[in-house]
Amino acid sequence: MTSGLSADSGTPFRVRCAGGSRHQRFGEWLIGAVDRNLAILFPLPALCLVGVLMVYPLVYTLVLSTRSYDLGFRSYNFVGLAHYATALTSPRFWDACVRTFSFTALSVAGSVVLGMVMALIINREFRGVRWARTAFLLPMVATPVATSLVWMMMFNPTLGVLNYLLQLVGLPPSVWVADPLLVIPSLVLVDIWHFAPFAMLILLAGLRSLPSEPFESAMMDGASRWQSFWHITVPLLQPMLVVVLIFRTIDSLKVFDIIWVITAGGPGFSSETLYVYAYHQAFDYLDIGYGSAVIVVFTAIVAAASVLWMRARERVGA
């Protein structure tokens, strides 16, 4: 087969192909198409992945939420928004919403404050600071399920170590996660213990990047340590704080493993958050349709929280 390539190596490829064989014309068309659509083709693999791993499951969950998909009865009828109506009129659903929000508020506030304290401690140079850094980070690297099992045993009112410690310092024993009023604060305690190091890491990076001049000026002007912290450190750290708040809010809203292992939503339904509620519906009761509707509502809540924090982030210029 004759090729135009050898005739004039200085001629541009497209010109050389013009008027050539059908294959050559196709090749030229293909190259042109690639050139014109680079903006689509390069992100295409990533888009496909997102489509398969995120969009498809989300759309499928939406579809399921409109079906009476109950495995106990093998039904799959279209029920429209009936599951959403059931959820919105179910006291158990609303109780789960309240618990989800209270758990998130307490956990986010607790872990950010503790993370800040830990970051301030290890931002200073003192003997053993390296050991302190490692010790502070340990909870974060441990597996949540394993640590939750340990906490579950520690919370045991009869055999657990926490009551032993309370009694050592003269305090009365507690039933911890067996008390419907204490169960959420107790679970929050575990969540804070687990995720405060994460907040610490980000805030420590922020502290290290702060300029020294404002602090020196404040010191010259006679500002106290608290005044320096409150009026200089916190405002300068705002972008980092917002990042921590975004991550911690999403994580706390989604928390499942800690609650499932320690209480499975109990006692009764006293620690049943939305995620646990949805899991009960879908995998305990096999009511996949209703469970999917709860998950859709839950996803909307997480998305709304994320958008709110993102807006706050833009406002502080993080």
Partner 1 sequence: MAEPLSRRGLLAGGAAGLAVVGLGEAGPARAEGFDWKKHAGTTLRVVTLKFPLSEISQARLADFGQLTGIKVQWEMLPEDMWRQKVKVQHLGGATDLDVFLSYYGQEGQQFLASGWYTDMAPMMRDPALTNPDFAWDDFIPAVRQGATVDAKVPIIPDRAAALPILYYRRDLFEQFKLERPKTWQDVRNAAKTIYEGTNKQVFGIVLRGKGAAATSMFAPVLYDFGGQWIDRASGDIAFNTPEALAAFEWWGAVLRDYGPPGSVNNHWAEVTSIYSQGRAAMLFDDITFITVFGDKSKSTVAGKVGYAPAPTGPGSAAWRSLPPYQPNANGLAISALGKQQEASWLLVQYLSDKVASKRYMLQGGLAPRHSAWIDPDVIKALDPEFLETGRISTQINYPGTSPLSITNVSKARDFIGEVIVTSIQGGNVKAALGTAFTECVDLLKEERTKKL
Contact positions vs partner 1 (CB under 8 A): 70-75, 156-159, 173, 175-180, 263-264, 266-269, 280, 283-288
Q: How is residue 256 written in tokens?
A: 């499942």
Nearer to partner 1, 11 or 75 (CB): 75
- Coil, strand, or helix at residue 140? helix
Question: What span, in angstroms and rounded, lies between the C-alpha atoms of 170 and 164?
Answer: 10
- Quickly count: other Cβ atoms within 10 Å of residue 115's Cβ: 25
63 or 286: CB nearest partner 1:
286
User: Between 4 and 267, whose beta carbon lies closer to partner 1?
Assistant: 267
Q: Give the list of residues 6+ apart from residue 189 with CB closer than 8 angstroms, or none.
A: 110
Least CB distance to partner 1 at residue 173 (A): 7
Rounding to the nearest 10 degrees, give the CA dihedral for residues 298, 302, 305, 311: -140
Shortest CB 54 distance to partner 1, Å: 18
Pick between residue 179 and residue 251 the one whose CB is nearest to partner 1: 179
- Is the Cβ of residue 13 or residue 283 nearer to partner 1 in the bound state? 283
CB of 73 to partner 1, least distance (A): 4
Contact 261, 152 (CB under 8 A): yes
Partners of 78 in the beta sheet? 67
Q: Which residues are CB-neighbours of 148 under 8 A, at least 6 positions away?
A: 190, 257, 258, 261, 262
Q: How far is CA 318 from CA 77, 230, 291, 312, in A?
A: 48, 19, 37, 9
Q: Residue 283 Cβ, how far from partner 1 at the closest point, in Å?
A: 6
Residue with tokens 């939406």: 62
Span between the terminal Cα atoms of the chain, in Å:
62
| Closer residue to partner 1 in complex, CB, 191/287 | 287
Q: Give the residue with the Cβ less far from partner 1, 29 or 285.
A: 285
- Rounded to a whole number of angstroms, the minimum distance from the CB of residue 139 to partner 1 is 23
CB of residue 170 to partner 1, shortest distance in Å: 18
Choice between 233 and 271, CB closer to partner 1: 271
Minimum Å gap between C-beta 310 and partner 1 is 33
Question: For residues 199 and 118, what is the distance between their CA atoms, to the nearest angstrom?
Answer: 9
C-alpha distances in Å from residue 300, one per residue of 103, 216, 304: 18, 46, 6
Closest separation between CB of residue 169 and partner 1, Å?
Answer: 19
